[in-house]
Amino acid sequence: MAKARLNFLLRRTRRRRKSMRRIPKGVIHVQAGFNNTIVTVTDVRGQVVSSSSAGNCGFRGKRKASPFAAETTAETALSTVVMQRAEVLIKGAGIGRDAALRAIFTSGIRLTFVRDITPLPHNGCRPPKKRRV
């Protein structure tokens, strides 16, 4: 009984290393919120190849929203992918959007275009009432 429990714990703690994926062209999605930054790398059809977030990189609490966390997140997401060209789609108004884009530029991938796809309301839903502090 104790041996089975020990094997179970050893199996859970051992993490598989992500293998290198080779794609000629891909799409890099950057979602920069006020609390976190998520970077997802997909192929042209939309199949997820690699993804990472600031929380996944070890940042917790207020540090997840920092530009350094966004830069580290982008580097981690791109470390397991080898590609020549990419399109970048940035969503959100967080602090990490510029830092993540800077990290993508320095990775050496040739970017075909960078597009901001932040959703903007056309006077749809009524916004929540103003915060009183």
- At 99-108, the pLDDT tens digits run 999 999 999 9
pLDDT at 125: 87
9-25 mean pLDDT? 69
Residue 12 resides in a domain:
no
Residue 107 resides in a domain:
yes
- Report whether pLDDT(112) > 70: yes
Residue 127 resides in a domain:
no
Residue 21 resides in a domain:
no
Amino acid occupying residue 38: I
Residue 129 resides in a domain:
no
> For position 78, which CATH number holds?
3.30.420.80
The residue length of the chain stands at 133
pLDDT at 9: 55
Q: Answer whether 66's CB lies under 8 Å from 48's CB.
A: no
Global model pTM greater than 0.85: no
60-71 mean pLDDT? 94
- Report whether pLDDT(3) > 90: no
DSSP class of 14: P
Residue 65 resides in a domain:
yes
C-alpha–C-alpha distance, residues 126 and 111, integer Å: 38
Domain tally, the chain = 1
pLDDT at 68: 96
| Residue 77 structural domain | 31-116
Percent of the chain with pLDDT over 70: 86
C-alpha–C-alpha distance, residues 34 and 87, integer Å: 23
pLDDT at 127: 85
Residue 59 resides in a domain:
yes
Residue 84 resides in a domain:
yes
Residue appearing with tokens 């940042």: 59
